[in-house]
Each structure stands twice: as structure tokens, then as C-alpha cells.
């Protein structure tokens, strides 16, 4: 039975989001010969504008070359549909005779699918959410497509910076993306050479950040190791629960997207950390980098398992249409990743944070459960040796 699929990509792109797109395009033509697969440019905006790319007729080798290219090939959006916008999207889907709309994205995108499904009411068409986020913060998922590649960047960067600061000692802080969940920041420890290696300190949104404690942590790490490597999530919050960036940036310079998310990426937090270190630990060599956009779609650190799982999430999403739609989830069972269909409502607009046992109960560092998680998902890709210093 030939069908018409509309597919879109939402939110921040990843290194493997096009694998999912490719999985959808290839599985749709395989499972339903003669089907149309229309890619909406710039997410739901493309549906409203009738701005589509026909993916049905592309040669398979071109589709696979697109799959291997990071970032959303169709373009993305951060638009959040209200009731009126919803009607326009549904009208746009009707206009092309869509049987199913598969939206690839994170929790905001799954929220969009839930809103559209509710607005569509009856069985007008099927809505599927295919997962994608470097934040690894989708409910029902063990890990999410896009995360492992970003994590591989962060793991390699911290391994490398730790070696750098062994040779020229000092304090290093890397600010890593992550609004509510610390998974990506925690991946900084995935490729530690040994117990003595950095990151020595990890600050994540799941635990309040306190200046005095931070300074004391750094001071004692310097005393113990002669260097101090720190991973900090851009979303860390003060004990009041407000994000540090919100407290640091003047209200008139704060920027929010349609989902109400405050812009966290930027140099504000890094500068604040730099000032704290200069004031409270004067005379110490201290360096702060903002990783920002570097991990999320980096072509140099595409993880093979991530690419494969992202492709499979796409093929699974096509199969999910016959089951009435929902959210595709990567779960862990019997020692491997399994792809399952879960209700949209269990994922939509919710956020998964790190399990409590990922963090040491009293120190600002990871605990064994986190190391175990990364050991099974992100085994070391390199074999550096301990230097003489």
C-alpha cells in the first residue's frame, strides 16, 4: 500500500540525525513501494509553508551520503506550535495527503507531536516521534541517538586536556552543553586513563552549585594531583534552583526560545567561573573553555554505534505507523540496545535527568554507576599511555 509520509527534524541538530532521516526514507520505500516521503524544510515551518523536499526518488547512495553528514539536512526549528499554528500544520499535512508525520527531535519535538495528535483528534493521520538529542534526556530511553557521538567528542577532549595539563599544570574548566541533565558533561569521564586522571570534578544541573564549595573542591584537587580538570554543565543552578546563567546575565540580555528555554550557550558562565578562580585562587594558572556547539554535530567524532542506532530508529519509526504511532525509544535489555515503541505522552515535553547513583553522594564527581554506564556505551577508542609526569 503506497502511503504519504511527511518527515521533519526539530531542535538542535546532532551528528547522526540524518541517519534517522535516511532510515525513514529507505524503509518507507522498502516497506510500502511507491510511497511518497516528503521532507519538510526547517521543521514544522516547512509544513505550514508547503516547503518540502521529495525524498522518495533520491538514489540510495545519495541518501546514505546524507546520512553520513552531520546536522539536520532538512533544516530545523525551535518553533513551538500554539493552537492556531497547530491548525496550520494540520492543514499543511492534509494538503499533501499525509498518512503519517514522523518528527525527529528531542523532548520539545515530542511535545509538538503530542500537541498535534491531540489537535488532530480522530484517526486523521498517525504521529510518530523519532528520538534525537545530545542531551540524552528523553524519558523511556536508555540513551538517545546523537548522544554517543557528542559524548565521544567530550570524552576525547577531556582525555586530551588532562594530558595537556599534566605537562603544563594548572586548573582547567570546560563548559559543556546540558540544560537540565548532566549526561553529556558526565561523559567527560568516560575515557579517564585511571583513577588519578581528570575530570577530577564534575558539576551538573542535578546538583546545586555553590561557589565556596567549588573553590574548596578545586583547592583540594590541586593539592592532591597538582592539576585540576573540571567539567561543568552550562545548566548548573544555584541552591535557589535558578540557573547560574539566569543569575549572571542582566535580564535585558537574556534570550529565550519559543519553548521558554533561556539561552545558556555563551561565554557568561565561563567568564563567571574565570572570575571566581582569579578572585579566590589568585596566582593559579586557570583556563576556561566553552565547548558550546563543538560536540553536537562534530564530523570528527561520529560514533559508529550511534550512527547505526539512529538509522534503526528511522526504520523503526516507519514500522510504528501501522501500530498507531507513538515515540520510538532506545532501551537496554538483555545486554543490548533494543528499539521499542512507547506512548507519546510518556516522553512528550518531559525531561530525564541522571540517575541519582551516577553522582557520588557527597563529592562533586561521578560514582561507579556512571562509569559502568559509559563503559558499556562508549568503550575507549584510543590507547594512550600514561606520561612520565
157 is a site residue for a copy of itself (CB under 8 A):
yes
Stretch that binds a copy of itself, among 24-32, 64-72, 233-241, 326-334 (CB under 8 A): 64-72
Helical H runs in the chain? 17-31, 44-49, 60-67, 83-95, 107-120, 147-167, 183-186, 211-225, 244-248, 268-280, 304-322, 368-377
Return the residue of 38, 47, 134, 288 that touches a copy of itself, per CB under 8 A: 288
Q: How far is the CB of 167 from a copy of itself (least distance, A)?
A: 4
Return the residue of 297, 314, 325, 326 that touches a copy of itself, per CB under 8 A: 297
- Contact flags string 301-340 toward a copy of itself, x per CB under 8 A: x---------------------------------------
Q: How far is the CB of 70 from a copy of itself (least distance, A)?
A: 6
Q: Tell me whether residue 108 is one of the annotated catalytic residues.
A: no
What count of Cα atoms within 13 Å lies in the side-chain half-sphere of residue 283? 2
Distance CA 86, CA 80 (A): 9
Distance CA 386, CA 193 (A): 7
258 is a site residue for a copy of itself (CB under 8 A):
no
Return the residue of 133, 243, 298, 315 that touches a copy of itself, per CB under 8 A: 298
Distance CA 278, CA 270 (A): 12
Q: How far is the CB of 289 from a copy of itself (least distance, A)?
A: 3
Distance CA 275, CA 184 (A): 24
Distance CA 310, CA 39 (A): 17
Task: Give the CA diameter of the chain.
Answer: 72
Distance CA 125, CA 108 (A): 20
74 is a site residue for a copy of itself (CB under 8 A):
yes
Nearest by Cα to 162 from 387, 8, 372, 326 = 387
Q: Which of 79, 99, 108, 135 is catalytic?
A: 135
Per CB under 8 A, residues contacting a copy of itself are 9, 12-13, 15, 39, 41-42, 53, 62, 65-66, 68-78, 152-153, 156-157, 159-161, 163-164, 166-168, 172, 253, 255, 265-268, 270-271, 274, 278, 285, 287-294, 296-301, 381-385, 387-389
Amino acid at each position: 500500500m503506497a502511503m504519504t509520509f511527511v518527515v521533519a527534524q526539530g531542535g538542535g541538530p546532532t551528528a547522526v540525525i540524518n541517519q534517522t532521516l535516511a532510515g525513514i526514507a529507505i524503509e518507507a520505500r522498502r516497506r510500502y513501494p511507491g510511497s511518497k516521503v516528503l521532507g519538510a524544510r526547517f521543521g514544522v515551518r516547512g509544513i505550514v509553508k508547503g516547503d518540502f523536499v521529495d525524498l522518495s526518488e533520491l538514489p540510495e547512495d545519495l541518501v546514505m551520503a546524507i546520512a553520513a553528514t552531520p546536522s539536520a539536512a532538512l533544516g530545523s526549528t525551535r518553533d513551538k506550535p500554539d493552537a492556531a499554528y497547530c491548525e496550520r500544520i494540520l492543514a499543511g499535512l492534509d494538503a499533501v495527503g499525509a498518512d503519517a508525520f514522523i518528527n525527529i527531535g528531542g523532548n520539545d519535538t515530542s511535545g509538538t507531536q503530542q500537541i498535534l495528535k491531540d489537535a488532530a483528534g480522530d484517526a486523521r493521520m498517525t504521529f510518530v516521534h523519532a528520538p534525537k538529542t545530545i542531551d540524552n534526556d528523553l524519558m523511556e530511553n536508555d540513551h538517545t541517538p546523537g548522544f554517543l557521538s557528542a559524548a565521544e567528542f567530550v570524552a576525547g577532549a577531556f582525555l586530551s586536556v588532562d594530558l595537556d595539563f599534566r605537562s603544563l599544570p594548572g586548573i582547567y574548566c570546560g563548559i559543556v552543553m546540558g540544560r537540565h541533565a548532566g549526561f553529556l558533561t558526565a561523559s567527560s569521564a568516560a575515557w579517564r586513563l585511571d583513577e588519578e586522571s581528570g575530570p577530577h570534578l564534575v558539576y551538573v544541573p542535578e546538583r546545586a552549585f555553590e561557589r565556596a564549595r567549588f573553590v574548596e573542591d578545586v583547592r583540594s584537587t590541586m593539592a592532591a594531583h597538582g592539576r585540576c580538570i573540571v567539567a561543568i554543565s552550562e545548566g548548573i543552578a544555584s541552591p535557589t534552583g535558578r540557573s547560574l546563567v539566569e543569575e549572571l546575565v542582566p535580564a535585558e540580555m537574556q534570550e529565550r526560545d519559543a519553548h521558554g528555554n533561556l539561552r545558556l550557550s555563551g561565554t557568561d558562565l565561563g567568564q563567571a567561573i574565570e572570575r571566581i578562580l582569579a578572585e579566590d585562587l589568585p596566582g593559579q594558572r586557570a583556563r576556561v573553555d566553552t565547548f558550546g556547539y563543538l560536540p553536537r554535530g562534530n564530523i570528527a567524532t561520529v560514533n559508529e554505534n550511534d550512527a547505526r542506532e539512529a538509522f534503526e530508529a528511522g526504520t523503526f519509526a516507519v514500522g510504528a505507523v501501522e501500530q498507531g504511532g507513538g515515540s520510538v525509544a532506545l532501551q537496554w535489555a538483555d545486554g543490548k540496545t533494543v528499539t521499542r515503541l512507547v506512548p507519546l505522552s510518556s516522553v512528550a515535553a518531559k525531561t530525564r535527568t541522571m540517575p541519582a547513583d551516577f553522582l557520588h553522594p557527597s563529592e562533586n564527581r561521578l560514582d561507579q554507576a556512571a562509569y559502568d554506564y559509559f563503559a558499556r556505551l562508549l568503550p575507549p577508542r584510543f590507547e594512550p599511555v600514561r606520561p612520565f609526569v
